[in-house]
Structure 1
Amino acid sequence: MPSVPPPSTVRPGLPCPPAEIDDFLSQPTPRVLEVVARTRGPFLVLGAGGKIGLHLSAMLRLALDALGRKDRVIAISRFSTLRDRAAFEQRGVETLACDLSVEAEVNALPDAPTVFFLAGVKFGTSTAPGLLHAINVEIPHRVAAKYARSRIVAYSSGCVYPFVTPASGGAREDTPPAPVGEYAASCVAREQAFTGVAAARGTPVALIRLNYSIEFRYGLLVDIAQKVLAGQPVDVTTGYVNVIWQTDAVAHSIQALEVAGAPAVPINVTGADTLSVRDVAHRFASVLGRTVQITGTEAETAWLNNAAHSHRLFGPPLTTVDQMVRWISEWLRDGGETWGKPTGFERRDGRF
């Protein structure tokens, strides 16, 4: 029986040893270093315990270290979902446990000139409208009021836009929001909490309309690859998508600090290409040595974002779709863990 390679070994097809993927995903780009060099600390990352918070916090810490700065990076969360506090602290990021739904706990948080807001809920909310309102509407208002004197980068979603045709090139930042479903409506309400404080208090705000972030363990490319690997059909009814590698999404979010303004500034963060789900499934099938099964027929429209504006500001994403396909294929083929949280990108009713 062949021996299993140690975790520190780089496997062919992967860009780093499996045990080091979180550090790989957190590497600051040269442009991130430039922005952080011009930004005052300390840096707060609220809602840090989810899928993006560790990489955002660690990228800030690595950038500050590279610049020889000792500014604090503080990750704030209940730390009850994907990440525990140790994952942050071993990377030099301070942690504070806080339930953002409790006003007294939010008011007790430290002040800081630079704030990232990542808190939100999506899955399971179709049957829990109270939870959706509490997390996606009430918490943002509470945080916006607390940090009205800070510079804020707040995560939103491309789901605030209407469905558009692939030929349109995707919704732009000046496309009026037209949310489909209660989740998307709550994302608009979350944005309104921060647009309101920007208008009333002059708080510089950037709203990150992200669509969709990808890494080894999560994202719609992982969803498609898992189906191909398991011989399950891939539904192409939602036939077209945008993706961006998590490192690039985080880097662009940090760079958005310098375009934050009052009124609040929406920024689309995604890749340059409109991808065919059918084509992506066949690409995974080719790399994985599988036969792909396709079900459904492509609808005329999809949730698509045009990120040309952010690419002009921040530079294009550095990771290609071909790299993502190869890395995810190798990760899954070797039994790499996933978060076990399908994105539900196929849904067109806005219910998650």
Structure 2
Amino acid sequence: MTLEELEDILSEPTPAVISALDTLDGDFLILGAAGKMGPTLARMAKRAVGKSRRVIAVSRFSDATTRAALELAGVETIAADLLDVDALLTLPDVQNIVFMAGMKFGATGNEPLTWAMNSFLPGLVCQRFTTSRIAAFSTGNVYPLTPLHLGGSVETDAPNPVGEYAQSCLGRERIFQYFSQAYETPVSLLRLNYAVELRYGVLCDIAKKVWEGTRISVAMAAVNVIWQGDANAWALQSLAHVSSPASIFNLAGPEQLSVRRIAKQLGKHLGKEPNFEDEEATHALLSNGQKAHRTFGYPTVGIAQILEWTAEWIKNGGHTLGKPTKFEVRDGKF
């Protein structure tokens, strides 16, 4: 698979996405659009609505190639620091917003910026776009580690975040919830856990370690993953399911995957024997995605296919983003 083919797969809108966006009026604004998921989500939205409506991607765009690729795909771009209130005020009035801005990696040691991005910025956005629909990305890290046998946290479980990054993400949710009620702004909160594609994600991390002979910690005994294309699709579909008070969806795959087992499966594809360290703990960070599956449909790309693609990508020297997920972290320090 080439890079172009990968990005085409990740940005292909499903019939459900096209149908959902057809029910909505207005244009689309993607805030924080230059991250790992933003470019393919913006392209998916544009492919779904065609020339009939605008899709506008907003980011600092420190990488000019990302901005150029989006514009080539028909996505309008605006370079802006979202923490700059004046810049935020100049953004166009748009009916549909996907909020993707946030900070995770490097949060430890840079806690003030982490809280500003994850908790303060949502308030600025809510005050700027009081009448828009907002689909806001959150994280499964707002949940505590739970016993493996429970099958993952559900949306009605009480949050209990571990560490300042996760606490600031719960702060993000609380701010969106407050303004959703105060202004009757329709909002969906998307607790993602974890999006994967071939260039980054939990499976990419594990595959690289298998390929390089690096030890793999199994202390976090199990994980959930969801193909990034499906996560993109569900996020866009959630704009048709916003509400006040805010609705909440876990964006997670259907399987509770053993880290040891998927490392061994990747090892078979790669022709390598994985090396493990640590022992499986009885609790892990797990989300139950059944509500999202009922609402948005079942994932279109299954785990067996993702493992095969990931192994081939790593074996063939495919480009990776160099951003480890740190899925094995259990103390919340990212």
- Under TM normalisation by the shorter chain, which class is it? over 0.9
Q: Which of the numbers 265, 280, 294 marks the counterpart of 1:312?
A: 294
SS at match of 1:159: helix
Q: Which of the numbers 318, 328, 334 marks the counterpart of 1:346?
A: 328
> What amino acid is the match of 2:7?
D
> What amino acid is the match of 2:95?
P
Hey, what's the Cα distance between the residues in 2 that align with 1:49 and 1:123? 15
Q: Which of the numbers 15, 18, 24 marks the counterpart of 1:33?
A: 18
Are the aligned partners of 2:21 and 2:240 in contact in 1 as well (CA < 8 Å)?
Answer: no
- The 5 Å alignment of 1:52-131 reads 52-65=37-50, 69-80=51-62, 84-131=66-113
More deviation, 73-82/103-112: 73-82
Residue 157 of structure 2 corresponds to: 175
More deviation, 32-41/338-347: 32-41
Residue 124 of structure 2 corresponds to: 142
Segments of 5+ residues of structure 2 without an aligned counterpart are: none
Are the aligned partners of 1:50 and 1:82 in contact in 2 as well (CA < 8 Å)?
Answer: no
Segments of 5+ residues of structure 1 without an aligned counterpart are: 1-13
Deviation at 1:20, TM superposition (A): 2.8
Amino-acid identity (%): 44
Are the aligned partners of 1:49 and 1:83 in contact in 2 as well (CA < 8 Å)?
Answer: no
Are the aligned partners of 2:39 and 2:66 in contact in 1 as well (CA < 8 Å)?
Answer: no
Q: TM-score by structure 2 length?
A: 0.98
More deviation, 320-329/83-92: 83-92
Hey, what's the Cα distance between the residues in 2 that align with 1:291 and 1:207? 40
Deviation at 1:84, TM superposition (A): 2.7
Hey, what's the Cα distance between the residues in 1 that align with 2:169 and 2:199? 24
Hey, what's the Cα distance between the residues in 1 that align with 2:237 and 2:28? 14
Hey, what's the Cα distance between the residues in 2 that align with 1:235 and 1:82? 36
Determine whether 1:132 maps to 2:114.
Answer: yes
> What amino acid is the match of 1:203?
T
Output one character per residue of 1:202-233: Cα deviation in whole Å (capped at 9) or x when no partner: 00000000000000100010000000000111
Pick closer, same or farther for the CA change 1:83–1:179 going to 2, 3 Å.
farther
SS at match of 1:222: helix
Pick closer, same or farther for the CA change 1:83–1:208 going to 2, 3 Å.
farther
Q: Which of the numbers 218, 221, 227 marks the counterpart of 1:239?
A: 221
SS at match of 1:217: coil
**Runs of 4+, deviation exceeding 3 Å:** none
Q: CA RMSD in A?
A: 1.1
Q: Which of the numbers 203, 210, 220 marks the counterpart of 2:185?
A: 203
Residue 133 of structure 2 corresponds to: 151
Are the aligned partners of 2:38 and 2:100 in contact in 1 as well (CA < 8 Å)?
Answer: yes
Output one character per residue of 1:300-345: Cα deviation in whole Å (capped at 9) or x when no partner: 1111000101101111111111111110111111111100000000
Are the aligned partners of 1:51 and 1:82 in contact in 2 as well (CA < 8 Å)?
Answer: no
Output one character per residue of 1:23-71: Cα deviation in whole Å (capped at 9) or x when no partner: 2210000100100111112100000010111111100110112xxx520
Are the aligned partners of 1:57 and 1:75 in contact in 2 as well (CA < 8 Å)?
Answer: yes
SS at match of 1:257: helix
Determine whether 1:22 maps to 2:4.
Answer: no
Deviation at 1:83, TM superposition (A): 6.0
Hey, what's the Cα distance between the residues in 1 that align with 2:108 and 2:101? 18
